Amino acid sequence: LEGQPVGKPLAGKKAVVTSGPTHEPIDPVRYIANRSSGKQGHAIASALTAAGADVTLISGPVALPDPAGVNVVRIETAQQMLDAVQAALPADIAVCAAAVADWRVADEAGQKLKKDGSGRIPDLKLSENSDILATISKVGPNRPGLVIGFAAETENVIAHARAKRVRKGCDWILANDVAPGTGTFGGDENEICLISGENAASDEVWPRQDKAGVARALVQRIIRHFP
């Protein structure tokens, strides 16, 4: 049990975690979505719970069981995820691990779109979804004391992640290399660099490990952050 927190160091702390994809309906039977298994977010919710935190997990559609001892709120769309996150605030800790769809279909069809035999392709108009991580990172009475996001990148991983941290206003970003061939997407392992400052001096490169290991490492880091 090396590396496991002793006792319940996060007892009395409230945490909100987002996990999984969101589904943005095109019509009643079709949707657009990002790839996400939910494994990493769910593992973080479990590890926070094991450390004694009171955890609300806002999850998109995933093929995973609800983690034990966690208050799970299931949603489908990015808007529903944002509403559920805001309803779960205030919190001490927020971890945005969801792969939120960046766009939704602007004029969702009430009935199934039908191919009419002419080969005509529907002209889908998209709108940008709200950025949940950026929204909760904004200064205000409900801003969690520690806001953590992920940056899944396929190239220039650290540079893109560092820019994302500043753009979104969160405290930490876990830069995750998801380039094809790393096996991280949908797989069981992740390759993480924790970025907590504007220059490389504060970067922490973690050994490649399974998602439960990443979750435990993150929780160790969170425990150290709180006095």
Integer Cα distance of 138 and 159 in angstroms: 22
Confirm whether residue 112 is marked as ligand binding: yes
Confirm whether residue 150 is marked as ligand binding: yes
* Burial degree of 205 (CB within 10 A; 0-12, 13-18, 19+): exposed
Confirm whether residue 125 is marked as ligand binding: no
**H or E element that contains 190:** strand 189-190
Q: What is the largest CA-CA distance in the chain?
A: 66
Cis ω before 227 (30° cut-off from 0)? no
- In the complex, the smallest distance separating the C-beta of residue 160 from ligand CTP, rounded to whole angstroms, is 7
Q: Answer yes or no whether residue 102 interacts with Ca ion by CB under 5 A.
A: yes
The span of 48-56, 65-73, 77-85, 102-110 binding Ca ion (CB under 5 A) equals 102-110
Residue with smaller CB distance to Ca ion, 138 or 167: 167
AA letter at 79 = Q
Q: Of residues 34, 142, 156, 199, which has the active-site annotation?
A: 34
Active site residue 190: no
The contact set with ligand CTP (CB under 6 A) reads: 18, 78, 96, 98, 100, 102, 129, 131-133, 149-152, 164
Confirm whether residue 168 is marked as ligand binding: yes
Integer Cα distance of 216 and 50 in angstroms: 9
Active-site residues, by number, are 34
Binding site for Ca ion (CB under 5 A): 102
